[in-house]
Amino acid sequence: MGNLAKLAKWLSEAGPVVVFTGAGASTESGLPDFRSAKGLWRRKDPRQLASTMALARNYEEFCRFYRWRIEALLAVQPNRVHRCLAGWEKNGLVSRVVTQNVDGFHQAAGQQVVTELHGTLRQVFCQTCGQVQPAQVFLERTACPECQGRLRPGVVLFGEALPEEAVRQAWQAAETARLLLVIGTSLEVSPANQLPHLTRRAGGKVVLVNAEPTAFDQAADLVLRGQAGEILAGVGRMLN
């Protein structure tokens, strides 16, 4: 049996599966990822710009960087990876998507149950009064309309802890998943990269869909190397 057929079989047999996505799920939309050859960070250093340090000490450049990312996000759309997963949720094949992405594409494609481990780029909030605004506001002003405090994006910055409730949901989902489908992540960012280990330790299967090798490849039950959109579309055809 080929790998696509194997995944299709496992998806239909495992009961609703948990999906774990990274930046590679969104590259087909035109959003660069962080670490592969064309990744964002080949041009910019994340520790300098997407960090608590930059927010505190280099606010101007921090804002320029995030305005650029918000503009890029607002110009693109979800792709067939997001649409495919939303369709599988409707058909009872997917119970939850846990994502490291901040683009909001899973929800935009209709996914109902989504855990955002690294926050969202769709909103900004005031560091002083906490007031939340749509990300578009940040393109025009960096001062809070309410109190003139500094606005910042709703993403988790390097140097910040992950949101507690999202961690709880993600850990619980990974530990109880009979199958964790991991899509488009280098699995280099901690602690999110612990999720496949949790599933394996609890006796569940882990399937990786990624364009490049990852450190978890040897431990996975199945590795599908290639473009996520093509692979999911192929599996989708077999499920129909």
**Catalytic amino acids?**
118
40 binds ligand NAD (CB under 6 A): yes
Give the burial class of 13: count Cβ atoms within 10 A of its Cβ; 0-12 exposed, 13-18 middle, 19 or more buried.
exposed
103 binds ligand NAD (CB under 6 A): yes
79 binds ligand NAD (CB under 6 A): no
Name which of residues 158 to 217 contact ligand NAD (CB under 6 A).
Answer: 184-186, 188-189, 210-212
Interface stretch with ligand NAD, choices 8-16, 56-64, 96-104, 144-152 (CB under 6 A):
96-104
52 vs 131, beta carbon nearer ligand NAD: 52
CB 21 within 8 A of CB 184: yes
CA 163 vs. chain centroid, Å, equals 14
Instruction: Output the smallest distance, CB 86 to ligand NAD, in A.
Output: 16
* In the complex, residue closest to ligand NAD by CB: 24
Q: How many residues bind ligand NAD (CB under 6 A)?
A: 28
Interface stretch with ligand NAD, choices 3-11, 32-40, 144-152, 165-173 (CB under 6 A):
32-40
123 binds ligand NAD (CB under 6 A): no
Among 19, 20, 83, 100, binds ligand NAD (CB under 6 A): 100
Give the integer Cα–Cα distance in Å for 50 and 48: 6
Residues of the shown chain interacting with ligand NAD in the complex, contacts defined by CB under 6 A: 22-24, 26-28, 31, 33-36, 39-40, 100-103, 118, 184-186, 188-189, 210-212, 227-228
